[in-house]
């Protein structure tokens, strides 16, 4: 039986499927005396999650959901890189920025959160 966490992730993925945009910003070789065949990979994510943006419990749950989505992606990034081009992978940093978009008079975009994330990794090529 799926856990509540899994059910929430599936629901979040379905909500985000139409509004998520992810890209690998750059892959660059490391310089200096570092490991041969080592490269740094930076991946960026931009999401919009509709929902309350105030100070209540529901708004806090939405902010937590937004952070969780980026951290989940970061947690899976090494697995994906190992499938495609990495022999080894190490997560170096994750950054999450959340901005509230409050609904204003005559505004087309619904109330919700704009989420930007950056994932930095170091890999060893296959």
pTM strictly above 0.85? no
pLDDT above 70 for 35: no
pLDDT of residue 45: 96
> Cα(40)–Cα(62) distance, rounded to whole angstroms?
31
pLDDT above 70 for 4: no
pLDDT above 70 for 3: no
Cα–chain-centroid distance for residue 71?
6
Range of the domain at 101: 4-125
Q: What is the pLDDT confidence band of residue 37, given thresholds at 50, 70 and 90?
A: confident
- Total count of domains within the chain: 1
């Amino acid at each position: 039986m799926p856990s509540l966490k899994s059910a929430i992730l599936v629901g979040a993925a379905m909500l985000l499927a139409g509004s998520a945009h992810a890209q690998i910003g750059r892959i660059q070789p490391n310089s200096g005396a570092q490991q041969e065949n080592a490269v740094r990979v930076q991946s960026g994510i931009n999401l919009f999650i509709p929902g309350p943006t105030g100070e209540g419990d529901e708004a806090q749950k939405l902010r937590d959901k937004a952070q969780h989505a980026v951290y989940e992606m970061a947690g899976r990034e090494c697995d994906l890189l190992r499938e495609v081009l990495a022999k080894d992978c190490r997560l170096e940093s994750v950054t999450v920025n959340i901005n509230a978009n409050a609904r204003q008079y005559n505004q087309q975009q619904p109330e919700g959160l704009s989420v930007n994330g950056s994932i930095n990794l170091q890999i060893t090529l296959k």
